[in-house]
Chain A
Amino acid sequence: MLAYARIPERSALLLLVNLSALGLGLGRPEERVIQAIQGRLEATGKLYVEFQWYQCWAPRKSDPFDSRGWLHADEPEGTVYNLDCRLWLVRPDLKFHLRGPLTWNRDITQSWVDGLRTSKSLQDGGAWSVVIDEERWNLFGPVPFLTLVEVEIFDIRQSLLELLQAGHVHVETESADAVRLSGKLPHEGGALPWVVRASLDPSRGCLPTELEAEAAIPNRRGTIRWHMKAIRSVPVNDTHAPAEAIIALGAPQEPDRYLIYHYRAITVEGRPGLSKSDLTFQIPERNVTIVDEVNLYTRSISAEGKVYNEEKWTREQRDRDLALIRQSFTDSLGAKAILASRQRMFSLMVIGCGVTVVALVGAWVWRRQRLRYT
């Protein structure tokens, strides 16, 4: 049990938390793990991370965690990214900045502060696009690096701690080397039926060394599988944070290859002085289009600072517009399902025709042989 944390004396708070986590051997294992993770997240609550995010492909037949099998070039699709990223974390609020050869944007800054998301991205023509809304789920694309700072797990918009606290994930086995967790997530309201597995290292403050999430997509559209392995970690404020990790995504639309994400931290610093005010950023005043879903307006400003387009909505109007967008998205998903079912029927029909012709060939040969001897 004492293996749960390497507790230096200087952090009295952490000591208390970990002592309670140990609980003198009392309490459920989940509670001990929850306490240990809470201690870890508290220690990394104010964090500055600078990292490189590399994205490429690997054949399904190869081991995705062996970089020798990676396919580094996929031109002209340009799906190999090498992003320089910075992240400021004041849990649960955060700000991040991505810069690199992304296909759709070269420069993105996003923040989530007090339930408000602000996004600033450079468009192809050199203009800025700013979006302000309250949609937390919009924050997490396009790359799942927030898994590494334990804000979420891949596509699942909850952290491991939240899943444990909600009772969706349980301790499977527990030893001095590893704590293994697993669980099935509820999937009401169109959510995928995720199965989550995790392996934590008790000697590094229950650092997730391996994370897996797998879900069968409804209508037999295949299985999506995320798998992360932390290769290295770095000590931060008496606990550990991942310093290098690989995430492999096996998506049904890419049956022959994995999408690989390689996270390499350059700096991982606990910054006790970090506050919410550090998470805000300047919105451009020129050459920008702002869509503000909170104050319900859109405004386009030219490079000369002149407003050339402005539109205001009422809440009802905007709700109607957004409902239409959501409806068209749902319809497009439905259309995809219909298309898949039609293609399946077509394949079955062609197979049926083939079988019929083969049967006719057999009957024809049999008849010829029979008539030849009569």
Chain B
Amino acid sequence: MEAPKAAVHLNLEKARWRAALSANTVRWLLVLILAWSAGGKLFWPERFGGLLRGLGMIPQALVAPIQYGLPPLELILALALASHVGRTAALFATIFLGLAFAGVHGLVLISGTVVPCGCAGIAVRWDSPWAHVLVATVCGFMAVSSTGLLFSDRPGAPSRCR
């Protein structure tokens, strides 16, 4: 009787480790995406502002706040996810950003005019429909995986992301 019990325990442990590993992988992927996305925008805010204006869907009054506010926010979210400080709030904010970015790309695709968006940073200037589909998928992944991370934890239990 001892052997199967130990085997079950081992299997459970393995499953826990796998779940923790995949949660950690997802978390670090999110950190990477957010940090990468923030990088170029932080260093070249003027070019990012130009790209925002080029999108033609953000009201003029919001361009400057987004231009200077979004890159630090992305960096803060990346740091929060990496360090677990304010992790829950960071995940909710990442869901919002992921949905909003995916929505922007969806609107660009609907409008039929592709534009370099700056979502993936300044260095990568994709401006083809497929690039928008790809970036929208990445943004969707941000939102879905953040939701998954939030809802995979049990209250009181240690977080799966370690």
Complex contact B111–A364 (CB within 8 A): no
How many B residues touch A, CB cutoff 8 Å?
20
Contact B155 A353 (CB under 8 A): no
Interface string of B98-110 (1 = CB under 8 A from A): 0110011011000
A217 CB-CB contact with B under 8 Å: no
Nearest-neighbour CB distance to chain B for A323, whole angstroms, equals 25
Residue in B57, B92, B147 with the greatest tally of chain A CB atoms within 10 Å: B57
A352 interface residue per 8 A CB criterion: yes
Query: Which one of B58, B96, B151, B156 lies within 8 Å of A346 (CB-CB)?
Result: B58
- Complex CA gap A368/B154 in Å reads 7
Dominant SS among interface residues on chain A: helix
B147 near A360: Cβ-Cβ < 8 Å:
yes
Alpha-carbon gap, A367 to B152, bound state (A): 11
B interface footprint on A340-354 (CB within 8 Å = 1, 0 otherwise): 001101110110111
Near B by CB (< 8 A), chain A positions 75-116 give: none
Question: Smallest CB-CB separation from A367: which chain B residue?
Answer: B151
Q: Which residues of B contact A357 (CB under 8 A)?
A: 92, 95-96, 99
B158 within 8 A of A: no
The reply on B150 being an interface residue by CB < 8 A is yes
A75–B95 alpha-carbon span in the complex (Å):
44
Main SS of chain B's interface residues?
Answer: helix
A-B contact count (CB 8 A): 53
Shortest C-beta distance, A353 to chain B (Å), equals 4
Contact assessment for B99 and A339 in the assembled complex, using a CB-CB cutoff below 8 Å: no
> How far apart are the CA atoms of A363 and B57 in the complex, in Å?
31
Complex CA distance for A162 and B112, rounded to whole angstroms: 47
Chain A residues with CB under 8 Å of B106's CB are 349
B65 located at the interface, meaning its Cβ lies under 8 Å from any Cβ of chain A in the complex: no
User: Mask for A21-61, Cβ within 8 A of B = 1, else 0?
Assistant: 00000000000000000000000000000000000000000
Determine the chain A residues whose CB is within 8 A of the CB of B103 once the complex forms.
349-350, 352-353
A294 contacts chain B at the CB level, 8 A cutoff: no
Contact, CB under 8 Å: A371 / B154: yes
Query: Residues 132-162 of chain B: 1 if any A CB is under 8 Å from the residue's CB, otherwise 0?
Result: 0000000000000001001100111000000
Known contacts A343-B57, A357-B95; A350/B100 CB under 8 A: yes
Q: Is the CB of B156 within 8 A of A342?
A: no
Question: Does B4 belong to the interface (CB within 8 Å)?
Answer: no
Residue of B96, B104, B155 touching A354 (CB-CB under 8 A): B96
CA distance A352 to B106 in the complex (A): 13
> Is B155's CB under 8 angstroms from A372's CB?
yes
Name the CB-closest residue of B to A344.
Answer: B57
Give the residue among A345, A352, A360 with the most B Cβ atoms within 10 A: A360
A266 is an interface residue with CB less than 8 A from chain B: no
Contacts of A333 in B (CB 8 A): none
B107 contact set on A, CB distance < 8 A: 342, 345-346, 349
* Alpha-carbon separation in the docked complex, A343 to B154 (Å): 40
Q: Which of A350, A360, A371 contacts B150 (CB 8 A)?
A: A360
B59: contacting residue among A338, A343, A360, A371, CB under 8 A: A343
B79-103 vs A, Cβ < 8 Å mask (1 yes, 0 no): 0000000000000100110011001
Docked complex Cα distance between A346 and B59 (Å): 9
- The answer to the question of A356 belonging to the interface, with a C-beta cut-off of 8 Å to chain B, is yes
| Chain B residues within 8 Å of A307, by CB | none
Assuming the contacts A343-B59, A349-B104, asked whether A372 and B156 have C-beta atoms less than 8 A apart, the reply is yes
Cβ-based interface call for A325 (8 A): no
- In the assembled complex, the Cα of A353 lies from the Cα of B106 at a distance in Å of 13
Nearest CB on A from B92, distance (A): 6
Encode A224-245 as 1/0 by CB contact (under 8 A) with B: 0000000000000000000000
Residue in chain A with minimal CB distance to B153: A368
Q: Are A353 and B96 in contact (CB under 8 A)?
A: yes
Distance in angstroms from A342 CB to nearest chain B CB is: 4
Residues from chain B with a CB closer than 8 A to the CB of A360 are 92, 95, 147, 150
B99 surroundings in chain A (CB, below 8 A): 352-353, 356-357
Assembled-state Cα–Cα distance A338/B56 (Å) = 9
Distance between Cα atoms of A345 and B57 in the complex (Å): 8
Q: Write out the residue numbers on chain A whose beta carbons fall within 8 Å of the beta carbon of B96.
A: 353-354, 357
A361: Cβ under 8 A from any B Cβ:
yes
Q: Which residues of B contact A (CB under 8 A)?
A: 56-59, 92, 95-96, 99-100, 103-104, 106-107, 111, 147, 150-151, 154-156
In the complex, 6 of the A-B residue pairs with CB atoms within 8 angstroms, ordered by the A residue number, are: A338-B56, A342-B57, A349-B104, A353-B96, A353-B99, A356-B95
